[in-house]
A = this chain, B = another copy of it.
Amino acid sequence: MAATIKDVARLAGVSQSSVCRALAAPDQVRPATRERVHQAAAQLGYRPNRVARSLSTGRTGNIGLVLPDIANPFFPGVVKAVQRRAREFDLAVLLADTDEDPAAELELIRTMTKQVDGFLLCCPRASDEDLRSVSGDTPVVFVNRRVGHLPSVSFDSADGIRQAIAHLAALGHRRVAYVAGPRSSWVNRERLRSIRSVATAMDLEVVEAGNVIPTLEGGIAVADQILAASVTAVIAFNDMIGLGLLSGFNARGVNVPADISVVGFDNIPTAGLVNPPLTSVDMPKEQCGRSAVELLVQLLNDREGRASSRRLLPTQLIVRGSTGPAART
């Protein structure tokens, strides 16, 4: 059996309360006592029971990280950063993968609520109202999504789109396709809005291709439709779709970028490895994870201050081999 606070108290010849104070609030206890307690604790290898502590303090020391699909290569970078930063605040990370199912998102959140001090929620599918209600119960930082003025960390994808379109325009492209992601995805709606307004502003014609599941297969499946649209470039909702397009084009003997240029979003690690390497809008994933934890910790320490706690991270177009001068039509 592991040593409890009682064992330490007995060995040190003091009361439980003193042990507790010696460890938690060292300046409230006489140095001599403190020393005895520390020695006893060390001797027994005492580690406070976090569960018991949680029960009395109401704090669990856990944060919940909810995301739609850890197998999506966008997330591991975020998760890693969250994990590392959380550890620095002595917080453990409870992971929940919702399999892109909005009902599962809510259910998992409800289940975990009592076990965590706060949430980092990356729930692209859940409705705003549902998310608001969660945020009312528990401290929440939204990741890669904005919900009203609630705390969030998101990416400036409008600017990323601006960079991408400016890049294509500079290469002489006048008519561009956009492959939309899942209709229910917040990011998809956001990107769609941006792309329309930027395209108008830059006087570029945009053809929207149907909503596609954001996987390789989705990209492959939509390749024909893009080719039929007689565009010289295509912007994909994310890199997985972009890679699928590359693969689909390749299978049909269409040359990238000579015949058509491709731009993706997220800049996942694989983007730079394929041939031609995929031009993509980079999202600073590590910074996202770090910032999200920091915001949440701030929220945990101070229940107010929510107003100002939104962070918009910069995006950056990474130009690679999949984009080139517009093909003559």
Q: Which residues of A contact B (CB under 8 A)?
A: 2, 47, 49-52, 54-55, 60, 62, 65, 69-71, 73, 75-77, 79-80, 83-84, 87, 92-97, 99, 108, 110-115, 216, 243, 247, 250, 269-270, 273-275
Contacts and interface: CB of A to CB of B under 8 A. Distances in A.
Nearest to A69: B80
Given A55-B55, A80-B71, A95-B79, A114 B49 contact: yes
Contact of A73 (B62, B73, B95, B275): B73
Contacts of A111: 92
A77 B93 CA distance: 18
A138 B71 CA distance: 29
20 contacts: A47-B114, A50-B115, A51-B51, A51-B114, A51-B115, A52-B55, A71-B269, A73-B76, A76-B76, A83-B95, A83-B97, A84-B97, A84-B99, A92-B115, A93-B95, A94-B94, A95-B95, A250-B275, A270-B270, A274-B275
B47 A110 contact: yes
A108 to B, nearest CB: 8
Given A95-B83, A275-B275, A60 B51 contact: yes
Nearest to A270: B270
Contacts of A113: 47
**Nearest 7 pairs of A and B residues by beta carbon:** A275-B275, A95-B95, A270-B270, A71-B76, A83-B97, A51-B54, A70-B76
Copies in the complex: 2
Nearest to A243: B273
Given A62-B115, A70-B76, A83-B96, 16 more contacts: A47-B110, A50-B114, A51-B114, A51-B115, A52-B55, A70-B70, A70-B83, A73-B73, A73-B76, A76-B76, A87-B108, A92-B115, A93-B95, A94-B95, A273-B273, A275-B275
B114 A216 contact: no
A75 B52 CA distance: 33
Contacts of A99: 84
A95 B120 CA distance: 14
